[in-house]
A and B are shown apart, each in its own frame.
Chain A
Amino acid sequence: MKYLTFATATLAATAISTTAWAETPELVVYTYDSFVSDWGPGPKIEEAFEATCGCDLKLMGVADGAALLARLKLEGARSDADVVMGLDTSLIAAAKETGLFAETPVDAEYDLPVEWNDPVFAPYDWGYFAFVHNKDLTPPADFKALGKSDLKIVIQDPRSSTPGLGLLMWVKAAYGDEAPAIWDAMADNVVTVTKGWSEAYGLFLEGEADMVLSYTTSPAYHLIAEEDDSKAAAAFDEGHYMQIEVVGKLAGSDQPALAEQFLNFMVSDAAQTVLPTTNWMYPAVTPSAGLPAGFETLTVPEKALLIPADEVPANREEALAEWLKALSQ
Chain B
Amino acid sequence: MAQGAVAIDRTAINSKTGISAALFVLALILLALGAVISRAEVGAGLGPSDWAAVRFTVLQAACSAVVSVFLAIPVARALARRRFIGRAALVTLLGAPFILPVIVAVLGLLAVFGRSGWLNAALEAVGLPTVSIYGFHGVVLAHVFFNMPLATRLLLQGWQTVPSERLRLVAQLRLTPRAIFRAVELPMLAQVVPGALALVFVICLTSFAVALTLGGGPRATTIELAIYQAFRFDFDLGRAAVLSVVQLVLAGSMALIALWLVPVVRVGGGLDRVMPRWDARSGLQLVMDGCVIALAALFLLVPLAAVIWRGLLGLPQMPAEVYAAAGTSISIAVTSILVLLVLALPMAGWIAGRKGGAVETIGLLGLSASPLMIGTGWFIVINPIADPFDFTLLVTILVNAMMALPFALRILVPPMRDAVAQYERLSAILGISGWRLWRVVLLPRLRAQIGFAAGLTGALSMGDLGVIALFADPEQATLPLQMVRLMGAYRMDAAAGAALVLLALSLGIFWICDKGGRWRAEA
Contacts and interface: CB of A to CB of B under 8 A. Distances in A.
Contacts of A69: 235
Nearest to A325: B218
B213 A80 contact: no
B219 A208 contact: no
B391 interface: no
A152 B219 CA distance: 18
B486 interface: yes
A118 to B, nearest CB: 22
A70 B237 CA distance: 10
Interface in B220-255: 225, 228-229, 231-233, 235
Contacts of B115: 152, 191, 207-209
Contact of B490 (A191, A201, A207): A201
Nearest to A205: B492
B384 to A, nearest CB: 7
Contact of B216 (A94, A192, A197): A192
Contact of B103 (A40, A78, A198): A198
B474 A59 contact: yes
Contact of A80 (B387, B469, B472): B387
B383 interface: yes
Interface string A59-88: 111110011011101110010100000000
Interface in B441-496: 469-474, 477, 481-482, 484-492
Nearest to B469: A63
A328 B217 contact: yes
A70 B232 contact: yes
Given A67-B232, A327-B218, A194 B213 contact: yes
Contacts of A209: 115
Interface in A198-224: 198-199, 201-203, 205-209, 218, 221-222
B510 interface: no
A95 to B, nearest CB: 11
Interface stretch (A30-38, A101-109, A134-142, A248-256): A30-38
A114 interface: no
B170 interface: no
A191 B216 contact: yes
B107 A194 contact: no
A160 B216 contact: no
A40 B470 contact: no
Contacts of B49: 324
A197 B225 CA distance: 16
Given A34-B488, A202-B487, A208-B116, A193 B212 contact: yes
Which of B209, B383, B489 has the largest count of A CB atoms less than 10 A from its CB?
Answer: B489
B316 to A, nearest CB: 13
B229 A67 contact: no
A206 B111 contact: yes
Contact of A190 (B217, B383, B487, B489): B217
A38 B485 CA distance: 9
Given A59-B474, A159-B233, A221-B490, A327 B321 contact: no
A192 B474 contact: no
B214 interface: yes
A39 interface: yes
Contact of B232 (A36, A42, A160): A160
A245 interface: no
Interface residues of B, number: 55
Given A67-B232, A191-B115, A199-B213, A60 B219 contact: no
A121 interface: no
Given A195-B212, A206-B111, A74 B379 contact: yes
A39 B474 contact: no
B217 A192 contact: yes
Given A198-B103, A202-B492, A191 B134 contact: yes
Nearest to A323: B218
Nearest to B111: A206
- Chain B interface, >50% SS class: helix
A157 interface: yes
A327 B103 contact: no
Contact of A324 (B216, B218, B232, B487): B218
A208 B488 contact: no
Contacts of A61: 472-474
Given A33-B469, A78-B384, A194 B209 contact: yes
B208 interface: yes
Contact of B472 (A33, A42, A195): A33
A223 B492 CA distance: 15
A328 B212 CA distance: 12
B490 A38 contact: no
A221 B218 CA distance: 30
A280 interface: yes
Contacts of A33: 469, 472, 481, 484-485, 488
B474 A74 contact: no
Contacts of B469: 33, 63
Given A67-B232, A160-B233, A195-B213, A206 B116 contact: yes
A225 interface: yes
Contacts of A71: 471
Given A62-B471, A73-B235, A78-B384, A199 B389 contact: no
Given A37-B485, A193-B216, A324-B49, A66 B232 contact: yes
Which of B471, B488, B492 has the largest count of A CB atoms less than 10 A from its CB?
Answer: B488
B39 interface: yes
A197 B485 CA distance: 11
Given A37-B485, A208-B115, A225-B490, A327 B219 contact: yes
Which of A78, A198, A280, A327 has the largest count of B CB atoms less than 10 A from its CB?
Answer: A198
A190 B231 CA distance: 26
B110 interface: yes
A50 to B, nearest CB: 14
Given A73-B235, A193-B212, A328-B219, A157 B225 contact: yes
Nearest to B491: A39
A159 B225 contact: yes
B231 A201 contact: no
A71 B229 CA distance: 14
27 contacts: A33-B469, A33-B485, A37-B489, A39-B489, A60-B389, A61-B472, A67-B232, A80-B387, A160-B225, A160-B229, A160-B232, A192-B134, A192-B212, A193-B213, A193-B216, A197-B488, A198-B484, A198-B487, A201-B490, A202-B487, A203-B213, A207-B115, A208-B114, A208-B115, A280-B490, A324-B218, A328-B218
